Chains A and B, each alone.
Chain A
Amino acid sequence: MSTISHVIGTGISSAVQVAVVAVGGPVLVGVMRKVRCRLEGRVGPPVLQPLVDIRKLFRKQRFRPDQATWIFTLAPVMLVATVVVAAAITPLVTTHPALRASSDLFVLVYLLLVGSTLLALAGLDAGTAFGGMGSSRAVTIGALAEPALLVTILALSTTAHSSNLPAIVSAILAHPESVATPQRLFALGALLIVIVAESGRLPVDNPATHLELTMVHEAMILEYAGPDLALVTVGEAMRLTLLLGIFVNLVAPWGVATSTSVSGVVVGLASVVAKVAVVGVFLAVFEVFIAKVRLFRVPELLAGAFVLALLGVVSGLVAK
Protein backbone atom coordinates (compact mmCIF):
# COMPACT_ATOMS: atom_id res chain seq x y z
CA MET A 1 0.00 0.00 0.00
CA SER A 2 2.74 2.40 0.96
CA THR A 3 4.56 1.71 -2.29
CA ILE A 4 1.44 2.60 -4.25
CA SER A 5 0.99 5.85 -2.36
CA HIS A 6 4.68 6.53 -2.87
CA VAL A 7 4.33 6.01 -6.61
CA ILE A 8 1.31 8.31 -6.70
CA GLY A 9 3.18 10.85 -4.60
CA THR A 10 6.19 10.88 -6.88
CA GLY A 11 3.95 11.09 -9.91
CA ILE A 12 2.09 14.09 -8.51
CA SER A 13 5.33 15.77 -7.49
CA SER A 14 6.70 15.31 -10.98
CA ALA A 15 3.51 16.68 -12.50
CA VAL A 16 3.80 19.70 -10.21
CA GLN A 17 7.39 20.18 -11.32
CA VAL A 18 6.50 19.99 -15.00
CA ALA A 19 3.62 22.39 -14.49
CA VAL A 20 5.68 24.93 -12.59
CA VAL A 21 8.43 24.80 -15.21
CA ALA A 22 5.96 25.04 -18.09
CA VAL A 23 4.07 28.01 -16.67
CA GLY A 24 6.94 29.51 -14.74
CA GLY A 25 9.29 29.45 -17.72
CA PRO A 26 7.49 32.06 -19.81
CA VAL A 27 6.74 34.08 -16.67
CA LEU A 28 10.42 34.07 -15.76
CA VAL A 29 11.25 35.34 -19.24
CA GLY A 30 8.63 38.06 -18.76
CA VAL A 31 10.08 39.01 -15.39
CA MET A 32 13.60 39.17 -16.80
CA ARG A 33 12.43 41.37 -19.68
CA LYS A 34 10.58 43.64 -17.30
CA VAL A 35 13.59 44.06 -15.02
CA ARG A 36 15.77 44.82 -17.98
CA CYS A 37 13.34 47.37 -19.38
CA ARG A 38 12.92 49.11 -16.07
CA LEU A 39 16.66 49.42 -15.57
CA GLU A 40 16.98 50.86 -19.05
CA GLY A 41 14.29 53.44 -18.29
CA ARG A 42 11.52 51.83 -20.32
CA VAL A 43 8.15 50.62 -19.14
CA GLY A 44 8.38 47.23 -20.80
CA PRO A 45 5.69 44.69 -21.63
CA PRO A 46 3.62 43.13 -18.84
CA VAL A 47 5.21 40.25 -16.99
CA LEU A 48 2.64 37.80 -18.36
CA GLN A 49 3.11 38.94 -21.96
CA PRO A 50 5.10 35.83 -23.00
CA LEU A 51 2.22 33.61 -21.86
CA VAL A 52 -0.25 35.69 -23.85
CA ASP A 53 2.01 35.55 -26.90
CA ILE A 54 2.34 31.79 -26.65
CA ARG A 55 -1.40 31.34 -26.34
CA LYS A 56 -1.91 33.44 -29.44
CA LEU A 57 0.76 31.61 -31.40
CA PHE A 58 -0.73 28.24 -30.54
CA ARG A 59 -4.00 29.18 -32.18
CA LYS A 60 -2.52 30.27 -35.48
CA GLN A 61 -2.10 28.18 -38.57
CA ARG A 62 0.95 26.01 -39.00
CA PHE A 63 3.48 26.72 -41.75
CA ARG A 64 6.05 24.49 -43.32
CA PRO A 65 8.77 25.60 -45.76
CA ASP A 66 8.55 23.70 -49.06
CA GLN A 67 11.90 21.95 -48.66
CA ALA A 68 11.37 20.92 -45.06
CA THR A 69 10.85 17.33 -43.94
CA TRP A 70 9.34 15.69 -40.89
CA ILE A 71 12.40 16.74 -38.89
CA PHE A 72 11.19 20.32 -39.08
CA THR A 73 7.87 19.20 -37.58
CA LEU A 74 9.38 16.90 -34.99
CA ALA A 75 12.10 19.21 -33.64
CA PRO A 76 9.92 21.61 -31.58
CA VAL A 77 7.95 18.70 -30.14
CA MET A 78 11.14 16.90 -29.19
CA LEU A 79 12.57 20.07 -27.68
CA VAL A 80 9.61 20.45 -25.35
CA ALA A 81 9.31 16.71 -24.70
CA THR A 82 12.91 16.39 -23.53
CA VAL A 83 12.53 19.38 -21.22
CA VAL A 84 9.28 17.96 -19.86
CA VAL A 85 10.92 14.61 -19.08
CA ALA A 86 13.93 16.38 -17.61
CA ALA A 87 11.70 18.57 -15.45
CA ALA A 88 9.76 15.53 -14.29
CA ILE A 89 12.83 13.63 -13.09
CA THR A 90 14.82 16.53 -11.59
CA PRO A 91 14.63 17.23 -7.85
CA LEU A 92 13.21 20.74 -8.17
CA VAL A 93 10.42 20.57 -5.64
CA THR A 94 11.17 17.28 -3.97
CA THR A 95 14.10 14.88 -3.85
CA HIS A 96 11.64 12.10 -4.68
CA PRO A 97 10.53 12.79 -8.23
CA ALA A 98 9.30 10.02 -10.49
CA LEU A 99 12.04 7.97 -12.20
CA ARG A 100 14.43 8.99 -9.46
CA ALA A 101 16.86 6.32 -10.67
CA SER A 102 17.49 8.13 -13.93
CA SER A 103 17.71 11.55 -12.33
CA ASP A 104 21.39 11.67 -13.14
CA LEU A 105 23.17 14.89 -14.12
CA PHE A 106 24.76 13.08 -17.04
CA VAL A 107 21.35 11.88 -18.22
CA LEU A 108 19.87 15.36 -17.93
CA VAL A 109 22.68 16.86 -20.00
CA TYR A 110 22.21 14.35 -22.78
CA LEU A 111 18.43 14.56 -22.60
CA LEU A 112 18.58 18.29 -23.23
CA LEU A 113 21.13 17.64 -25.97
CA VAL A 114 18.47 15.67 -27.89
CA GLY A 115 16.29 18.75 -28.17
CA SER A 116 19.06 21.10 -29.18
CA THR A 117 20.47 18.64 -31.73
CA LEU A 118 17.10 18.22 -33.42
CA LEU A 119 16.62 21.97 -33.45
CA ALA A 120 20.01 22.34 -35.14
CA LEU A 121 18.94 19.82 -37.76
CA ALA A 122 15.66 21.69 -38.22
CA GLY A 123 17.68 24.83 -38.88
CA LEU A 124 19.31 23.08 -41.83
CA ASP A 125 16.06 21.53 -42.99
CA ALA A 126 14.52 24.51 -44.75
CA GLY A 127 17.58 24.94 -46.96
CA THR A 128 18.17 28.63 -46.21
CA ALA A 129 21.39 30.43 -45.42
CA PHE A 130 20.28 31.67 -42.01
CA GLY A 131 19.24 28.30 -40.67
CA GLY A 132 22.59 26.75 -41.47
CA MET A 133 24.41 29.67 -39.92
CA GLY A 134 22.45 29.38 -36.69
CA SER A 135 22.83 25.61 -36.50
CA SER A 136 26.54 25.72 -37.15
CA ARG A 137 27.09 28.29 -34.43
CA ALA A 138 24.76 26.62 -31.96
CA VAL A 139 26.36 23.18 -32.23
CA THR A 140 29.84 24.70 -32.00
CA ILE A 141 28.96 26.52 -28.80
CA GLY A 142 27.31 23.35 -27.50
CA ALA A 143 30.41 21.29 -28.24
CA LEU A 144 32.69 23.75 -26.49
CA ALA A 145 30.42 23.93 -23.46
CA GLU A 146 30.46 20.17 -23.05
CA PRO A 147 33.90 19.73 -21.37
CA ALA A 148 33.13 22.43 -18.82
CA LEU A 149 29.77 20.84 -18.16
CA LEU A 150 30.96 17.27 -17.61
CA VAL A 151 33.97 18.26 -15.52
CA THR A 152 31.61 20.40 -13.44
CA ILE A 153 29.42 17.37 -12.93
CA LEU A 154 32.50 15.42 -11.90
CA ALA A 155 33.44 18.09 -9.36
CA LEU A 156 29.91 18.22 -7.97
CA SER A 157 29.57 14.45 -7.80
CA THR A 158 32.68 13.52 -5.88
CA THR A 159 31.29 14.43 -2.46
CA ALA A 160 28.14 12.37 -2.96
CA HIS A 161 30.04 9.62 -4.84
CA SER A 162 27.29 9.73 -7.42
CA SER A 163 26.09 11.87 -10.28
CA ASN A 164 22.52 11.12 -9.22
CA LEU A 165 20.98 14.53 -8.61
CA PRO A 166 18.72 13.61 -5.66
CA ALA A 167 21.74 11.97 -4.04
CA ILE A 168 23.83 15.12 -4.51
CA VAL A 169 21.08 17.36 -3.16
CA SER A 170 20.53 15.06 -0.19
CA ALA A 171 24.27 15.02 0.49
CA ILE A 172 24.35 18.81 0.65
CA LEU A 173 21.34 18.83 2.96
CA ALA A 174 23.05 16.29 5.20
CA HIS A 175 26.37 18.14 5.28
CA PRO A 176 25.55 21.87 5.35
CA GLU A 177 29.14 22.70 6.35
CA SER A 178 30.36 21.59 2.92
CA VAL A 179 28.14 24.05 1.10
CA ALA A 180 30.80 26.73 0.58
CA THR A 181 33.88 24.70 -0.19
CA PRO A 182 36.14 26.03 -2.94
CA GLN A 183 35.40 22.88 -4.90
CA ARG A 184 31.68 23.60 -5.03
CA LEU A 185 32.03 27.33 -5.61
CA PHE A 186 34.36 26.81 -8.55
CA ALA A 187 32.11 24.15 -10.00
CA LEU A 188 28.95 26.22 -9.54
CA GLY A 189 30.63 29.23 -11.15
CA ALA A 190 31.48 27.07 -14.14
CA LEU A 191 27.94 25.72 -14.19
CA LEU A 192 26.45 29.21 -14.25
CA ILE A 193 28.58 30.18 -17.25
CA VAL A 194 27.58 27.00 -19.05
CA ILE A 195 23.90 27.58 -18.27
CA VAL A 196 24.11 31.09 -19.70
CA ALA A 197 25.77 29.73 -22.85
CA GLU A 198 23.41 26.79 -23.26
CA SER A 199 20.26 28.83 -22.85
CA GLY A 200 21.42 31.47 -25.31
CA ARG A 201 21.52 34.46 -22.95
CA LEU A 202 23.91 37.40 -22.95
CA PRO A 203 26.88 37.57 -23.35
CA VAL A 204 26.88 34.46 -25.55
CA ASP A 205 23.74 35.10 -27.56
CA ASN A 206 21.21 37.90 -27.52
CA PRO A 207 17.64 36.56 -27.49
CA ALA A 208 16.31 39.96 -28.56
CA THR A 209 18.33 40.38 -31.73
CA HIS A 210 17.53 39.56 -35.33
CA LEU A 211 20.71 40.96 -36.81
CA GLU A 212 22.21 38.48 -39.26
CA LEU A 213 25.78 38.73 -38.06
CA THR A 214 25.08 38.18 -34.41
CA MET A 215 22.15 35.84 -34.02
CA VAL A 216 22.67 32.25 -33.10
CA HIS A 217 19.51 30.71 -31.74
CA GLU A 218 17.13 33.06 -33.54
CA ALA A 219 18.74 32.27 -36.90
CA MET A 220 18.19 28.59 -36.34
CA ILE A 221 14.46 28.94 -35.64
CA LEU A 222 13.77 31.67 -38.20
CA GLU A 223 11.42 29.48 -40.27
CA TYR A 224 9.12 28.62 -37.39
CA ALA A 225 5.71 30.25 -37.09
CA GLY A 226 2.44 29.66 -35.28
CA PRO A 227 2.11 26.65 -32.98
CA ASP A 228 5.61 25.41 -33.81
CA LEU A 229 7.13 28.75 -32.84
CA ALA A 230 5.04 28.62 -29.67
CA LEU A 231 6.54 25.24 -28.84
CA VAL A 232 10.08 26.47 -29.50
CA THR A 233 9.48 29.55 -27.33
CA VAL A 234 7.98 27.49 -24.53
CA GLY A 235 10.77 24.94 -24.84
CA GLU A 236 13.49 27.54 -24.57
CA ALA A 237 11.85 29.27 -21.61
CA MET A 238 11.33 25.94 -19.85
CA ARG A 239 14.91 24.97 -20.51
CA LEU A 240 16.23 28.18 -18.96
CA THR A 241 13.98 27.73 -15.95
CA LEU A 242 14.89 24.09 -15.51
CA LEU A 243 18.62 24.79 -15.71
CA LEU A 244 18.30 27.64 -13.21
CA GLY A 245 16.17 25.37 -11.01
CA ILE A 246 18.90 22.74 -10.99
CA PHE A 247 21.45 25.45 -10.32
CA VAL A 248 19.65 26.95 -7.32
CA ASN A 249 19.03 23.55 -5.82
CA LEU A 250 22.71 22.77 -6.14
CA VAL A 251 23.71 26.12 -4.64
CA ALA A 252 21.29 26.12 -1.74
CA PRO A 253 18.91 23.18 -1.66
CA TRP A 254 17.12 24.27 1.50
CA GLY A 255 13.39 24.18 1.17
CA VAL A 256 13.30 21.26 -1.24
CA ALA A 257 11.04 18.53 0.10
CA THR A 258 12.67 15.28 1.14
CA SER A 259 9.38 13.44 0.88
CA THR A 260 6.28 13.65 -1.27
CA SER A 261 3.96 14.95 1.46
CA VAL A 262 1.60 17.74 0.46
CA SER A 263 3.07 20.29 2.85
CA GLY A 264 6.60 19.40 1.78
CA VAL A 265 5.74 19.80 -1.87
CA VAL A 266 4.07 23.16 -1.25
CA VAL A 267 7.08 24.46 0.67
CA GLY A 268 9.43 23.04 -1.95
CA LEU A 269 7.44 24.69 -4.71
CA ALA A 270 7.46 28.06 -3.01
CA SER A 271 11.17 27.88 -2.25
CA VAL A 272 12.23 26.84 -5.72
CA VAL A 273 10.08 29.54 -7.34
CA ALA A 274 11.56 32.16 -5.03
CA LYS A 275 15.13 31.02 -5.58
CA VAL A 276 14.80 30.84 -9.37
CA ALA A 277 13.16 34.27 -9.40
CA VAL A 278 16.07 35.74 -7.44
CA VAL A 279 18.65 34.22 -9.76
CA GLY A 280 16.62 35.26 -12.82
CA VAL A 281 16.42 38.87 -11.64
CA PHE A 282 20.12 38.79 -10.88
CA LEU A 283 20.86 37.54 -14.39
CA ALA A 284 18.61 40.20 -15.92
CA VAL A 285 20.39 42.95 -13.98
CA PHE A 286 23.73 41.49 -15.02
CA GLU A 287 22.63 41.49 -18.66
CA VAL A 288 21.94 45.20 -18.57
CA PHE A 289 25.58 45.93 -17.90
CA ILE A 290 27.20 43.65 -20.45
CA ALA A 291 27.29 43.42 -24.21
CA LYS A 292 27.22 40.33 -26.36
CA VAL A 293 30.74 39.09 -27.01
CA ARG A 294 31.92 38.28 -30.50
CA LEU A 295 31.25 34.74 -31.58
CA PHE A 296 34.94 33.87 -31.53
CA ARG A 297 35.32 35.22 -28.02
CA VAL A 298 32.78 32.67 -26.79
CA PRO A 299 35.46 29.94 -26.69
CA GLU A 300 37.35 32.12 -24.18
CA LEU A 301 34.32 32.25 -21.94
CA LEU A 302 33.78 28.51 -22.17
CA ALA A 303 37.47 27.77 -21.69
CA GLY A 304 37.21 29.89 -18.57
CA ALA A 305 34.29 27.78 -17.39
CA PHE A 306 36.32 24.66 -18.13
CA VAL A 307 39.26 25.93 -16.07
CA LEU A 308 36.92 26.83 -13.21
CA ALA A 309 35.57 23.29 -13.30
CA LEU A 310 39.11 21.87 -13.32
CA LEU A 311 40.04 24.12 -10.40
CA GLY A 312 37.00 22.74 -8.64
CA VAL A 313 38.20 19.19 -9.17
CA VAL A 314 41.71 20.05 -7.97
CA SER A 315 40.38 21.87 -4.91
CA GLY A 316 38.38 18.77 -4.12
CA LEU A 317 41.49 16.62 -4.42
CA VAL A 318 43.52 19.02 -2.30
CA ALA A 319 40.95 19.11 0.45
CA LYS A 320 40.66 15.35 0.57
Chain B
Amino acid sequence: MSASTYTNVLGLAAAAVLLCAVVTLWRRSLGAIVRTLAVQGAALACVATVIGLHEHDVGLIVVGLLVLGAKAVVVPLLIGRVVRHDPNSRETDPLVNVPASLVAAGALTFLAFAATRSVTSLVPTTAGRLIPIGLAAMLVGFFALVTRRKAVSQIVGILLVDNGVALVAFLATAGVPLLVELGASLDVLLAVIVLRVLAIQMRSRLGSFDLDQLTELHD
Protein backbone atom coordinates (compact mmCIF):
# COMPACT_ATOMS: atom_id res chain seq x y z
CA MET B 1 0.00 0.00 0.00
CA SER B 2 1.56 3.29 -1.06
CA ALA B 3 1.84 6.14 1.37
CA SER B 4 -0.70 8.37 -0.33
CA THR B 5 -3.27 5.57 -0.67
CA TYR B 6 -2.79 4.76 3.01
CA THR B 7 -3.30 8.42 3.95
CA ASN B 8 -6.39 8.65 1.76
CA VAL B 9 -8.05 5.44 2.88
CA LEU B 10 -7.32 6.05 6.54
CA GLY B 11 -8.58 9.62 6.28
CA LEU B 12 -11.75 8.51 4.52
CA ALA B 13 -12.47 5.78 7.05
CA ALA B 14 -11.95 8.13 9.99
CA ALA B 15 -14.07 10.78 8.28
CA ALA B 16 -16.78 8.18 7.75
CA VAL B 17 -16.84 7.46 11.49
CA LEU B 18 -17.37 11.17 12.17
CA LEU B 19 -19.92 11.50 9.39
CA CYS B 20 -21.95 8.62 10.81
CA ALA B 21 -21.98 10.32 14.21
CA VAL B 22 -23.33 13.47 12.59
CA VAL B 23 -25.89 11.53 10.58
CA THR B 24 -27.36 10.08 13.78
CA LEU B 25 -28.17 13.64 14.79
CA TRP B 26 -29.62 14.30 11.38
CA ARG B 27 -32.00 11.36 11.05
CA ARG B 28 -35.21 10.93 12.98
CA SER B 29 -36.10 7.34 12.21
CA LEU B 30 -34.62 5.05 14.85
CA GLY B 31 -34.15 2.28 12.31
CA ALA B 32 -32.01 4.58 10.18
CA ILE B 33 -30.04 5.64 13.25
CA VAL B 34 -29.23 2.01 14.07
CA ARG B 35 -28.20 1.34 10.48
CA THR B 36 -25.92 4.37 10.64
CA LEU B 37 -24.38 2.92 13.76
CA ALA B 38 -23.65 -0.28 11.87
CA VAL B 39 -21.94 1.68 9.12
CA GLN B 40 -19.91 3.50 11.72
CA GLY B 41 -18.83 0.19 13.20
CA ALA B 42 -17.71 -0.96 9.76
CA ALA B 43 -15.76 2.25 9.22
CA LEU B 44 -14.10 1.83 12.59
CA ALA B 45 -13.16 -1.72 11.70
CA CYS B 46 -11.76 -0.42 8.45
CA VAL B 47 -9.56 2.05 10.35
CA ALA B 48 -8.16 -0.73 12.53
CA THR B 49 -7.58 -3.05 9.60
CA VAL B 50 -5.93 -0.42 7.46
CA ILE B 51 -3.56 0.58 10.23
CA GLY B 52 -2.89 -3.10 10.86
CA LEU B 53 -2.11 -3.71 7.19
CA HIS B 54 0.14 -0.71 7.03
CA GLU B 55 2.03 -1.54 10.22
CA HIS B 56 2.05 -5.28 9.41
CA ASP B 57 0.42 -5.87 12.78
CA VAL B 58 -1.63 -9.06 12.65
CA GLY B 59 -3.11 -8.42 16.08
CA LEU B 60 -4.59 -5.18 14.91
CA ILE B 61 -6.10 -6.83 11.85
CA VAL B 62 -7.72 -9.41 14.09
CA VAL B 63 -9.04 -6.61 16.29
CA GLY B 64 -10.41 -4.97 13.16
CA LEU B 65 -12.27 -8.14 12.20
CA LEU B 66 -13.60 -8.50 15.73
CA VAL B 67 -14.76 -4.88 15.74
CA LEU B 68 -16.47 -5.55 12.43
CA GLY B 69 -18.30 -8.51 13.89
CA ALA B 70 -19.24 -6.85 17.17
CA LYS B 71 -19.91 -3.27 16.27
CA ALA B 72 -21.10 -3.55 12.70
CA VAL B 73 -23.19 -6.72 13.00
CA VAL B 74 -24.02 -8.03 16.48
CA VAL B 75 -24.69 -4.83 18.40
CA PRO B 76 -26.77 -3.18 15.66
CA LEU B 77 -28.75 -6.41 15.29
CA LEU B 78 -29.48 -6.48 19.01
CA ILE B 79 -30.61 -2.85 19.08
CA GLY B 80 -32.41 -3.31 15.81
CA ARG B 81 -34.62 -5.91 17.41
CA VAL B 82 -35.68 -3.40 20.06
CA VAL B 83 -36.61 -0.98 17.29
CA ARG B 84 -38.49 -3.65 15.42
CA HIS B 85 -40.87 -4.01 18.36
CA ASP B 86 -42.06 -0.53 17.56
CA PRO B 87 -41.55 0.05 13.85
CA ASN B 88 -42.88 3.62 13.85
CA SER B 89 -40.57 4.78 16.56
CA ARG B 90 -39.01 8.07 15.61
CA GLU B 91 -36.99 10.64 17.46
CA THR B 92 -39.79 13.16 16.91
CA ASP B 93 -38.95 15.92 19.30
CA PRO B 94 -35.35 15.98 20.49
CA LEU B 95 -34.41 18.40 23.28
CA VAL B 96 -32.35 20.42 20.82
CA ASN B 97 -33.89 20.63 17.35
CA VAL B 98 -32.15 19.07 14.38
CA PRO B 99 -30.67 22.17 12.66
CA ALA B 100 -29.31 23.46 15.97
CA SER B 101 -27.91 20.00 16.76
CA LEU B 102 -26.15 19.91 13.43
CA VAL B 103 -24.65 23.35 13.93
CA ALA B 104 -23.59 22.27 17.42
CA ALA B 105 -21.94 19.21 15.90
CA GLY B 106 -19.97 21.52 13.63
CA ALA B 107 -18.92 23.63 16.60
CA LEU B 108 -17.90 20.54 18.59
CA THR B 109 -15.78 19.41 15.67
CA PHE B 110 -13.94 22.72 15.70
CA LEU B 111 -13.55 22.44 19.46
CA ALA B 112 -12.06 18.97 19.10
CA PHE B 113 -9.67 20.30 16.49
CA ALA B 114 -8.57 23.21 18.67
CA ALA B 115 -8.22 21.10 21.80
CA THR B 116 -6.04 18.44 20.19
CA ARG B 117 -3.74 20.88 18.40
CA SER B 118 -0.99 20.36 20.99
CA VAL B 119 -1.47 16.59 21.08
CA THR B 120 -1.36 16.01 17.35
CA SER B 121 1.99 17.72 17.09
CA LEU B 122 3.35 15.09 19.51
CA VAL B 123 2.10 12.21 17.37
CA PRO B 124 3.48 13.06 13.96
CA THR B 125 2.21 9.93 12.22
CA THR B 126 -0.46 9.96 9.54
CA ALA B 127 -2.84 8.29 11.96
CA GLY B 128 -1.95 10.63 14.79
CA ARG B 129 -2.99 13.67 12.84
CA LEU B 130 -6.51 12.28 12.57
CA ILE B 131 -7.03 12.20 16.36
CA PRO B 132 -9.24 15.33 16.30
CA ILE B 133 -11.70 13.43 14.12
CA GLY B 134 -11.96 10.68 16.71
CA LEU B 135 -12.43 13.17 19.50
CA ALA B 136 -15.05 14.99 17.44
CA ALA B 137 -16.93 11.72 16.85
CA MET B 138 -16.89 11.11 20.58
CA LEU B 139 -18.16 14.62 21.38
CA VAL B 140 -20.94 14.36 18.82
CA GLY B 141 -21.95 11.05 20.37
CA PHE B 142 -22.00 12.67 23.77
CA PHE B 143 -24.17 15.42 22.36
CA ALA B 144 -26.60 12.83 21.01
CA LEU B 145 -26.66 11.22 24.45
CA VAL B 146 -27.54 14.55 26.09
CA THR B 147 -30.18 15.77 23.69
CA ARG B 148 -32.06 12.71 22.43
CA ARG B 149 -35.10 11.42 24.27
CA LYS B 150 -35.63 7.85 23.12
CA ALA B 151 -33.99 4.97 24.97
CA VAL B 152 -32.67 3.56 21.70
CA SER B 153 -31.04 6.88 20.80
CA GLN B 154 -29.47 6.87 24.23
CA ILE B 155 -27.97 3.45 23.66
CA VAL B 156 -26.74 4.58 20.28
CA GLY B 157 -25.26 7.68 21.92
CA ILE B 158 -23.25 5.56 24.33
CA LEU B 159 -22.04 3.43 21.46
CA LEU B 160 -21.07 6.53 19.49
CA VAL B 161 -18.98 7.69 22.43
CA ASP B 162 -17.45 4.24 22.66
CA ASN B 163 -16.65 4.17 18.96
CA GLY B 164 -15.11 7.63 19.20
CA VAL B 165 -12.88 6.50 22.07
CA ALA B 166 -11.90 3.39 20.13
CA LEU B 167 -11.05 5.50 17.09
CA VAL B 168 -8.84 7.80 19.15
CA ALA B 169 -7.16 4.73 20.65
CA PHE B 170 -6.46 3.19 17.24
CA LEU B 171 -5.13 6.44 15.85
CA ALA B 172 -3.04 7.47 18.83
CA THR B 173 -1.28 4.25 19.71
CA ALA B 174 -1.64 2.42 16.45
CA GLY B 175 -3.82 -0.04 18.29
CA VAL B 176 -4.64 -0.99 21.84
CA PRO B 177 -3.54 -4.42 22.98
CA LEU B 178 -5.84 -7.11 21.70
CA LEU B 179 -6.94 -8.14 25.17
CA VAL B 180 -7.93 -4.63 26.21
CA GLU B 181 -9.95 -4.11 23.07
CA LEU B 182 -11.65 -7.48 23.53
CA GLY B 183 -12.47 -6.61 27.11
CA ALA B 184 -13.88 -3.27 26.14
CA SER B 185 -15.93 -4.76 23.35
CA LEU B 186 -17.37 -7.39 25.66
CA ASP B 187 -18.13 -4.67 28.17
CA VAL B 188 -20.05 -2.74 25.61
CA LEU B 189 -21.85 -5.85 24.47
CA LEU B 190 -22.92 -6.51 28.02
CA ALA B 191 -24.04 -2.90 28.44
CA VAL B 192 -26.08 -3.12 25.25
CA ILE B 193 -27.79 -6.25 26.41
CA VAL B 194 -28.61 -4.70 29.78
CA LEU B 195 -29.89 -1.53 28.16
CA ARG B 196 -31.93 -3.54 25.72
CA VAL B 197 -33.61 -5.45 28.51
CA LEU B 198 -34.23 -2.17 30.30
CA ALA B 199 -35.71 -0.59 27.21
CA ILE B 200 -38.07 -3.46 26.61
CA GLN B 201 -39.09 -3.41 30.24
CA MET B 202 -39.66 0.30 29.98
CA ARG B 203 -41.89 -0.05 26.98
CA SER B 204 -43.99 -2.70 28.64
CA ARG B 205 -44.42 -0.48 31.69
CA LEU B 206 -44.75 2.97 30.12
CA GLY B 207 -45.77 2.13 26.60
CA SER B 208 -42.95 4.12 25.04
CA PHE B 209 -39.21 4.44 24.86
CA ASP B 210 -39.33 8.07 25.83
CA LEU B 211 -36.76 8.67 28.54
CA ASP B 212 -38.39 11.93 29.53
CA GLN B 213 -41.11 9.93 31.17
CA LEU B 214 -38.59 8.67 33.69
CA THR B 215 -38.80 11.90 35.65
CA GLU B 216 -39.52 10.09 38.88
CA LEU B 217 -36.13 8.47 38.88
CA HIS B 218 -35.22 10.20 42.13
CA ASP B 219 -38.01 8.54 44.12
Contact = CB atoms under 8 A, between A and B. Distances in A.
Are A and B subunits of one complex?
Answer: yes
A317 interface: yes
Contacts of A306: 102-103, 106
Interface string B8-28: 100110110011001000100
A311 B106 contact: yes
Contact of B133 (A177, A180, A308, A315): A315
Contacts of A319: 7, 11, 129
Contacts of A302: 99
Given A304-B26, A306-B106, A311-B15, A318 B132 contact: yes
16 contacts: A181-B8, A182-B11, A182-B14, A303-B99, A303-B100, A303-B102, A304-B102, A306-B102, A307-B103, A310-B109, A310-B110, A311-B18, A311-B22, A314-B109, A314-B133, A314-B136
Contacts of A317: 113
A185 B8 CA distance: 11
Chain B interface residue number, banded: 20 to 34
A185 B15 CA distance: 10
A185 B13 CA distance: 12
B99 A315 contact: no
A300 interface: yes
Contact of A182 (B12, B22, B106): B12
Interface residues of A, number: 21
B110 A314 contact: yes
B105 interface: yes
B4 interface: yes
Contacts of A314: 109-110, 113, 132-133, 136
Contacts of A130: none
B99 A310 contact: no
Contacts of A300: 26, 98-99, 102
Given A311-B22, A318-B113, A303 B103 contact: yes
B168 interface: no
Interface string B97-119: 01110110110011001000000
A177 B4 contact: yes
B100, B102, B103, B105 pick with most chain A CB within 10 angstroms: B102
